[in-house]
Amino acid sequence: MVFRPGFSVKLVPCSIPNVCVVDLLIDLPIRVIGIYAPESKTWEWNELSPFITPSCVLFGDFNIDIEKDGKKSRVLLDWADMCFLAPIRVGTNTSLRSERTIDYAFTVGVPLSVQALEVGTTSDHKPVLASATCSGSEVSWGRNTHWK
């Protein structure tokens, strides 16, 4: 996860493998959860429920195509519904090995857009950029260079 310079974040303790939870400390804090859910994951979706807040974004590699994976996608979407999470999908496949969209986001209380980047990568997934519009009273110090 990468955040704009000037934002403060706080790591939230989480013992679930391949899950990173941080709070973005702005005027209205946002919980951000990054996830890698391999086929071999040893945990259930409901184990993430205690980490969901009224302003929360969960994104990453779910290894489930919501439109193509039947029962697995139904289990994920049922859990998301119970947490009031709305899925936000990119408009294209994210796997470079198959025609599947397995990288996306869920959100509650946070306007969010996601897009797959069509750039070179060493991964078997396209990079996905998630962007949220939020406000904060942070002060960013920078330098303005005037070239002659």
pLDDT digits (tens, 9 = 90+) for 100-120: 666 788 999 988 777 766 767
Residue 34 falls inside a structural domain:
yes
Report the C-alpha dihedral over residues 55, 61, 65, 71, rounded to 10 degrees: -80
pLDDT, one tens digit per residue, over 17-76 is: 999 999 998 888 999 999 988 889 999 999 999 999 999 999 888 888 888 888 998 999
Instruction: Report pTM.
Output: 0.80
* Segments forming the whole domain that contains residue 41: 8-132
Residue 142 falls inside a structural domain:
no
From the number of C-beta atoms within 10 Å of its C-beta (0-12, 13-18, 19+), residue 2 rates as exposed
Whole-angstrom Cα Rg for the chain:
17
* Structural domain total, the chain: 1
Residue 60 falls inside a structural domain:
yes
Give the integer Cα–Cα distance in Å for 57 and 21.
10
Q: Are 56 and 31 in contact (CB under 8 A)?
A: yes
Q: In CATH, what number is assigned to the domain containing residue 70? A: 3.60.10.10
